Structure 1
Amino acid sequence: MDKATGSTVSPQEALIYAMVTLSAVDKQMTDRELRKIGDVVNTLPIFGGFDTDRLIKIAEACAAITREDDGLHAILATIATSLPKKLHETAYALAVEVAAADLHVEQEELRFLELLRDVLDVDSLTAAAIERGARARHRTL
């Protein structure tokens, strides 16, 4: 159980929290970001068996926490305590994918990625590889 928030969520919910928080941290969730979250949840094996009808409810719960005092840190703590170590890089990669969906990353999003990297203990070389891969996948002509 997370001491900062008093709760934990399932690993799938924690991954969704990482994506939703990245999208919302700059105060605007774009259609591209929302589509990317939906695509990720509908296609990646980590979400196999996940009830996609719950996605909106989970996103709303995440948003409610972010509006609380120190909500961002509570979300980060919940993500960290809810994910097994083997999914830390996955959470970071999914957040980067959502950030890259708009083809422009805002300062607030960069700061959130930095905080997420720190709380999940994703090393700088791994983070750079994840970020480079996302840039390559989202590059335009």
Structure 2
Amino acid sequence: MDFAQADAVNQAIRLLALRHRARITALLAPLGLHPGQEALLLELARTGPMIQAKLSGALAVEPPSVTLMTRKLEAAGHVRRVPAPGDRRASVVELTEGGAALVERVKELWCGLAEETLAGVPDATAAELPALLRTLAGNVDARRGREG
């Protein structure tokens, strides 16, 4: 691949990531949420209560990030932490009733953002996009793993 093509690909990915994050930041602000917190709430809604360490893996973020997000969401009344059965050092995170209601609002925002992002993209291309993006992410992760 020559530099011009490489630059076009990398700049497009960078620009999309920046604009997507800015847009979700603006959409989440009225709900009192910050980027990343919505992913934690959605993961709990998908899977049910989860030990913080597993939540970290599911979200592909470092454990201290999950701890900080969980503390903030707990202070806001959206999640609660309870001791893990059989392991006093671990905490299980679960949605509260208010957190479950908030998840429904987050899902609406999430759908709207996807629709905005995919405006003008043919349905067939949109259907293929998640797999393509997972492949790209996997390629970057695999490379990072070999160098790390």
User: TM-score, normalization: structure 2?
Assistant: 0.36
Task: From the two aligned structures, give the one with the greater strand fraction.
Answer: 2
* Larger RCO of the pair (alpha carbons < 8 Å, separation 6+): 1
User: TM-score, normalization: structure 1?
Assistant: 0.37
